Amino acid sequence: MKILVPIKRVVDPNIRVRVKSDHSDVETANLKMAMNPFCEIAVEEAVRLQESGKATEVVLVTIGSSLCQDVLRTGMAMGADRAILVETDAVLQPLGLAKLLKAVIEKESPGLVISGKQAIDDDNNQTSQMLAALLGWPQGTFASKLEFDGEQVLVTREIDGGLETVRLRLPAVISSDLRLNEPRYVKLPNIMKAKKKPLEVIKPEALGVDITPRLTILKVEEPAKRSAGVKVANVAELVAKLRNEAKVI
């Protein structure tokens, strides 16, 4: 079984992001970039499945500028066999991404797609669901555990009320949650080996996909600063503040 893993290049999660002065977007110039943490978990799970004999090949795919090759090389250093870059400088939104991924999947014919549940830059959490809908495949989102049973996979999902287990018939789309695994540390020898692994570059036009944005970002702002807390002497003072200042009672 071939596993395809879509990944995304984002600002390193340890860096504080600032809004541009014109409020058009966040500032990314000269910032350290990295693989989206949820995507890293998806790569790790795919590699583990290959190491356990349940997969024969792990293929990575990302969509973006030529700079995105660095996260593909990181993923191959983790153990993926090869990578595909759909190269474009266009502004990409979840539906356009899902359409491009669908075209790549139809070309590659994987038995399973494992993605991160969301990207930490925009937090849309839509691409995996849209991809499954476009493909007509079953989906298991927010996965914290996978178990294979022949041509089916049991997916334990993180939900508000606890855990839910669904049985999916392959091929399927699965999105990873934080508790699915802990990604391995990439060692220098594997980084060197990854430089020699195949990396295919294709254009959206070659896939015949229209990625014209359907949404317009009007303004980007930082969250409002929270006011400092105060101590109250007794319950009566607390109730008075909730009634007169907070207006919650």
CB 143 within 8 Å of CB 164: no
| pTM, 2 dp | 0.85
CB 190 within 8 A of CB 78: yes
Question: Which is it for the CA torsion 28, 34, 36, 37, positive or negative?
Answer: negative
Please give the pLDDT value at position 130.
96
Q: What is the DSSP string of 156-186?
A: EEEETTEEEEEEEESSEEEEE-GGG--PPPP
What digits encode the pLDDT tens for the residues 164-208? Answer: 999 999 999 999 999 999 999 999 999 999 999 999 999 998 998
What are the structural domains of the chain?
2-224 (3.40.50.620)
Q: If we measure between CA atoms, which residue out of 6, 2, 1, 3 comes closest to residue 115? A: 6
| Segments in the chain forming alpha helices (H) | 37-51, 69-78, 94-108, 127-135, 188-194, 204-207, 235-244
Taking CA atoms, 182 is separated from 16, 44, 62, 185, 231, in Å, by 23, 8, 21, 9, 41
CA 110/CA 107 separation, integer angstroms: 9
Position 246 scores a pLDDT of 74
Hey, is 132 helix, strand or coil?
A: helix
Going by DSSP bridges, is the β-strand pair 199-202/82-87 parallel, antiparallel, or unpaired?
Answer: parallel
Which residue, 137, 118, 113, is CA-closest to 177? 118
Q: Can you read off the two tokens belonging to residue 28?
A: 């990314």
Per-residue pLDDT, 227: 78
Pairing status of strand 2-6 against strand 57-64: parallel
Which residues of the chain, if any, have pLDDT below 70? none
